[in-house]
Chain A
Amino acid sequence: MQCEQAQPLIGALVDDVLAGQERRTLLAHLRDCARCAALEAGIRADAPKLAALGRVAPPEGMHARIGARLAQADTDEDFAWGDPVQPVVPVPRNRQPPGWLGLAAMLVLVCGLSSGATWFVVAHQARDAQVVHDVLAAHVRSLLQDAPIQVASSDAHTVKPWLVGRVDFAPEVHDLSAEGFPLLGGRLDFVDGRRVAVMVYKRRLHTINVFAWLTEGAGNSAPRLIVRNGYSLVTWTEAGVTHAAISDLNSDELLVLQKLL
């Protein structure tokens, strides 16, 4: 066996995947050829050197950024799905066709009306959609992080004062262990451009984030259930505070929690 034939086989020998005649011929060559034997020793020594490099550590926060991007991608798809459809304007048949000027005027009118209608619908929905989007993203992010809780306590009298010092209102915090929703703690998050209080509850293995923020001037509103990306989201407003409870829990049990709060 020549060196040129032997050298490409050394890797296979080192990995112990070389068998039979090829293996015997290579071993014989390595006994005779000091250069190839040195190469084999070198290759054997390189493996642990590479292993010793270990993995290059990911930058801090990459995990959370990926979670946020996944959540964002999902909601983006949702929004595209729900885009308002342009109305189809029927052209009257039996009438005399309008002149060129009339047609142009009608086109302008139709464009104006439909874009106006679209703007109205979008403007109305945009704010709600932004809140849903932010709450969903914050929830998913909290699940991806190691520590979704900044103040960990099952005692409402520990969690509430901590939150009161950090947001502009006093959120409702209850320990609902007896009802099967133990309080895990609280944290701050950022939704719709403002700092919000988050109370974290647990139901069996499901984490529930209850977001709360002040909405001045808004009347009370009944709970509204939204299901998005498999997460149930219940929003309601009471005494000037808007709440959004979100979890992968089934929506019935989430509504039970809403009633308890």
Chain B
Amino acid sequence: MGVPMDTRAQFAELTTPHLAAAYNLAFWITRSRADAEDVVQDAYLRAWRGFGGFRGGPMLPWLLAIVRNAAYRWMSTHRHAGNVVSLDTLFLGDDGTPDPAMQIAADAPTAEAAMIAASENAHVMRALASLPPVLREILVLREIEGMSYHEIALTTGSPAGTVMSRLSRARLALRRALSGTTEKDSLHAV
């Protein structure tokens, strides 16, 4: 059962630097720190099994494509089980403002709640979290990972035109979410 010794080392060398990017993408798709780790573990396992099919080229889009698939697979299996509490049901009311009733109902704040509340950019995180997953992920890939349209297309497996139009939709949606949640922010924008 010989995995050539340098294959293993090569895999570690190529994928380890991208752990933080993988985790960040998984977090923003699942919106849960615990799920994100499970997703990344699953994705790295799949990446290692599929490493023979990796034909060189940039590692990050190849790896993030696997992370992304693992995250959506995770969401579709675990959403049905009702295990996932989405961030916006926890933190946002129907009007997009934090819902005090929800915060009272959840007597112990989750790790995500604490993390977001502690962040200086809490309103940006909440706005991003409130978008649909395909719009969240494309903003994460573009603005946090700084990927090009081409790299995003490789990661999401969609044509460049789709990347452009989806990114456009995502930006409009984020703008709406940001100007909706903070009065101060929209004043800044105008």
B149 CB–A CB distance under 8 Å: yes
How near does chain B come to A121, taking the closest CB pair, in angstroms?
18
* Residue from A56, A67, A228, A229 having most chain B Cβ neighbours under 10 A: A56
A39 CB–B CB distance under 8 Å: yes
- Name the contact of A74 in the complex, choosing from B3, B40, B178, B179 (C-beta under 8 A): B3
Residues in B whose Cβ lies below 8 Å from that of A41: 189
B144 CB–A CB distance under 8 Å: yes
A45-B188 contact, Cβ under 8 Å, with A70-B45, A78-B1: yes
Binary B-proximity of A57-94 (CB < 8 A = 1, otherwise 0): 11100110111011001100110010000000000000
B154 CB–A CB distance under 8 Å: no
Binary A-proximity of B108-124 (CB < 8 A = 1, otherwise 0): 00000001000101001
Interface residues of B (CB under 8 A from A): 1-9, 12, 16, 19-21, 23-24, 27-28, 33, 36-37, 40-41, 44-45, 48-49, 115, 119, 121, 124-125, 128, 139-140, 143-144, 146, 149, 164-165, 167-172, 174-175, 178-179, 186, 188-190
Q: Which residue of B lies closest to A50 (CB)?
A: B143
* Residue from B1, B9, B28, B128 having most chain A Cβ neighbours under 10 A: B1
Flag if B44 contacts A70 (CB, 8 Å): yes
A248-B5 contact, Cβ under 8 Å, with A42-B175, A56-B24, A56-B33: yes
How near does chain B come to A254, taking the closest CB pair, in angstroms?
11
Flag if B5 contacts A230 (CB, 8 Å): yes
CB contact list, A39-54 vs B, under 8 A: 39, 41-43, 45-47, 49-54
Flag if B8 contacts A230 (CB, 8 Å): yes
How near does chain B come to A20, taking the closest CB pair, in angstroms?
15
- Chain B facing A: main interface SS: helix
CA distance A56 to B5 in the complex (A): 33
Of all A-B residue pairs in the complex, the 6 with the closest CB atoms, nearest first, are A230-B5, A11-B168, A50-B143, A42-B189, A55-B24, A58-B23
The segment from A2-10, A155-163, A172-180, A193-201 found at the interface with B is A2-10
Residues in B whose Cβ lies below 8 Å from that of A49: 121, 124, 178
Knowing that A55-B24, A63-B19, A69-B45 touch, tell me 11 more A-B residue pairs with CB under 8 angstroms: A11-B171, A11-B172, A15-B149, A17-B164, A39-B175, A47-B143, A49-B124, A56-B28, A57-B20, A57-B23, A58-B19
